[in-house]
Chains A and B, each alone.
Chain A
């Protein structure tokens, strides 16, 4: 479903006082940030934790964001790079920003880990087209576009369970083709 607020620029979203606007900013960038960390850490759990700390840092720092100096995406990735550097230096993911915001750690389920690995893997994404049509549609909608199972099911005129099965099979096929565990 098209979001009528999408034309709002990242700059506007960052300086907005409306909490939901930060959610929209997050929606626009979370997959790129997850992919960035996953490519560099080869560990979906670490990538997820670094992503959480990056967005928490961005949330804390957004009042100091200065539109016009750097694109908001670049600004976000500067924060991401700092968090990565902290992780590489200390060997663990800092959670200071999340703690300061009283945020709870979000657990990474097996399916989340698969999704994060896929986001990290350009080869896997390029191989999506080799999946059977219904699996490609399901994986693309779920993993790349971030659609809800419910939404995909309605669009494809099938049940949620069928969509889950297509995503699961599609991811398993991709893992097998790129050499990962099935």
Chain B
């Protein structure tokens, strides 16, 4: 082995060893602080106004949130790459590849692991649904359709390559998959899943962060900028399935799109908004936190008034911007990962901090205050948040689907 490679390895392993030894006492301090926090909060509650005078509210933390209820926990095999709420595939539904005896009943709040192709079912009528399906794209290219009314796995489709991301627009599903040294975008048109268009990219997607977003008229995506220099922002027409626009763009960390507007957030922290028809940049605002490192995930979600929600992992902040890019509110919530806007609520992923598990937080749309918080297990991270009717479907990195209401 080269001397350089050997020497650098030795330096790194020694550094890892030093870092490991220095972490133990730090962890103990942090743990004790964390254990102390609820005690102090309890004391503050008892002391009422006295707590203010002794400064326990100095950090201006949001009020202690109520826990949202887990309606159902489903367990999907494999690693989900993306999920979305989309149109159902057919009016007559069948459970693919399963026999009635393979059906698994899941009680609310319980986790059940089902083998591939097994129907997942809860008693009908337990929950309301929107009539649409929840679609999950797994890393192995399996595309699962789940009926949110019954939690049944309706069918499994396969797209070629490694699943990277999934978006939905009216009547269309867009599955982005990596295959060899290029990426494929497969459009699945509902009504039998038979019509397909494959859009081949010239660059390479390595399965990094969400780089695509769909509206009812188009899919917007950017190839992997690490391996495709100056990767353009591509617009794929929803009706023809063809790339009908390629626009110069910085390296992006998140995209959100509706029929009128496309929001993009660059890795360096510049928010741009474009006219969805011309692709022209109509506004730009810099100063958002740059993507701190490769482990973080920024996110964007369109708001119903033409504005957007911007979640920047670099500083953990969710910012509500209006249609003209002005800040409405700014909430420091340890944001890291996907956000989802639903009528009356905004959902955001919260980072795991100092070894403590992450969470899914519900924010008030008018103030940004956390109103509910759902802690996750230690190793769990949301990969996608999908509002379905009055529920939130949280797709987690370990294949768990949490249905929250």
Would you mind naming 14 contact pairs between A and B with Cβ atoms under 8 Å apart?
A: A19-B14, A26-B12, A27-B9, A61-B294, A61-B295, A66-B397, A73-B206, A79-B293, A102-B15, A104-B11, A106-B4, A107-B4, A111-B2, A147-B1
A residues adjacent to B (C-beta < 8 A)? 17, 19-20, 22-23, 26-27, 30-31, 34, 48, 51-52, 55-57, 59-61, 64-71, 73-82, 101-104, 106-109, 111-112, 115-116, 142-143, 146-148
Count of chain B residues with a beta carbon within 8 Å of a chain A beta carbon: 39
Q: Which residues of chain B have a CB within 8 Å of any CB of chain A?
A: 1-5, 7-9, 11-20, 79-80, 206-209, 225-227, 293-297, 351, 379, 381, 383, 396-398
Q: Let me know if A112 and B397 touch, CB within 8 A.
A: no
Q: Which residue of B lies closest to A85 (CB)?
A: B251
Given contacts A65-B295, A78-B294, A112-B3, contact A103 B208 (CB under 8 A): no
Residues of B within 8 A of A61 (CB): 293-295
CB atoms of B294 and A103 under 8 A apart: no
Complex contact A109–B297 (CB within 8 A) = no
* Cβ contact within 8 Å between B294 and A146: no
In the bound complex, do residue A20 and residue B13 qualify as a contact, i.e. CB atoms below 8 Å apart? yes
On chain B, the residues within 8 Å of A23 by CB distance are 9, 12-13, 16
A26 near B18: Cβ-Cβ < 8 Å: no
Cβ–Cβ contact A19 & B16, under 8 A: yes
Shortest distance between the CB of B398 and any CB in chain A (Å): 6
Q: Tell whether A30 pairs with B8 under 8 Å between CB atoms, given A68-B397, A101-B15, A102-B15.
A: yes
Q: Indicate if the CB atoms of B3 and A146 lie closer than 8 Å.
A: no
Check A69 against B383 for contact (C-beta < 8 Å).
yes
The reply to whether A22 and B1 form a contact with Cβ atoms under 8 Å apart is no
| Pairwise interchain contact B9-A64, C-beta atoms closer than 8 A | no
Q: Which one of B2, B209, B296, B397 has the greatest number of beta carbons of chain A within 10 Å? A: B2
Question: Do A69 and B297 form a contact, CB below 8 Å, given A81-B226, A148-B1?
Answer: yes
State in angstroms the CA–CA spacing of A71 and B379 once bound together: 16
| Nearest Cβ on chain B to A106's Cβ, whole angstroms | 4
**Docked complex Cα distance between A82 and B225 (Å):** 11
A30, A68, A70, A81 pick with most chain B CB within 10 angstroms: A68
Bound-state CA distance A61–B292 (Å) is 10
Chain A residues positioned under 8 Å from B226 (CB to CB): 77-78, 80-81
Q: Which of A66, A71, A101 contacts B19 (CB 8 A)?
A: A101
Contacts A19-B13, A61-B295, A109-B3 known; A70 to B209 CB distance under 8 Å? yes
The minimal Cβ–Cβ distance linking B290 to chain A, given in whole angstroms, is 10
CB-based contact B17/A19 at 8 Å: yes
With a cutoff of 8 Å between Cβ atoms, the chain B residues found around residue A147 in the complex are 1
Closest A residue to B380 by CB, please name it.
A68
The reply to whether B397 and A69 form a contact with Cβ atoms under 8 Å apart is yes
Residues of A within 8 A of B351 (CB): 64
Closest to B227 in A: A77
Cα–Cα distance between A23 and B13 once the two chains are bound (Å): 6
- The answer on a CB contact under 8 Å between A66 and B381 is yes
Determine whether the beta carbon of B208 is less than 8 Å from that of A55. Answer: no
Closest residue on chain B to residue A77 by CB atoms: B226
A101 to B15 Cα, complex, angstroms:
6
- Alpha-carbon separation in the docked complex, A101 to B13 (Å): 11
Q: Cα distance A52–B16 when bound, in Å?
A: 14
From A19, A31, A76, A77, name the one whose CB has the most chain B CB atoms within 10 angstroms.
Answer: A19
Query: Contact: A103 with B209, CB < 8 Å?
Result: no
